[in-house]
Amino acid sequence: MEVEFRIINDEDMPPIVITMDDNDRPKVIINRHHQIWLTLNRAHIGGIANGLFDEIVKILDSSLKEQRIIERVGYE
């Protein structure tokens, strides 16, 4: 899947935003206004991917467990 990257310069926006485009594909917005912070934290930002994936898995697992409980209660 292709991910759109957009660079902006906006003092009111955070350094990085992950959102979606009009076709529901991931879009990453990088804000140059925070260039010094981004540069100082580039290694940490690059390492976020694994932790982010783990957190998404936790959210999905929790949702599936809740759905399974509801499903099981409905069968009783």
Could you state, in order of their start, the residue ranges of all structural domains in the chain?
1-40, 49-76
**pTM to 2 decimal places:** 0.77
Amino acid 27: pLDDT: 97
Dihedral over Cα of 46, 13, 20, 22: its sign: negative
- Reported as a single tens digit per residue, the pLDDT across 29-45 is 999 999 999 999 999 99
Which pLDDT band holds residue 75 (cuts at 50, 70, 90)?
Answer: confident
The percent of residues above 70 in pLDDT, for the chain, comes to 99
Which pLDDT band holds residue 61 (cuts at 50, 70, 90)?
Answer: very high
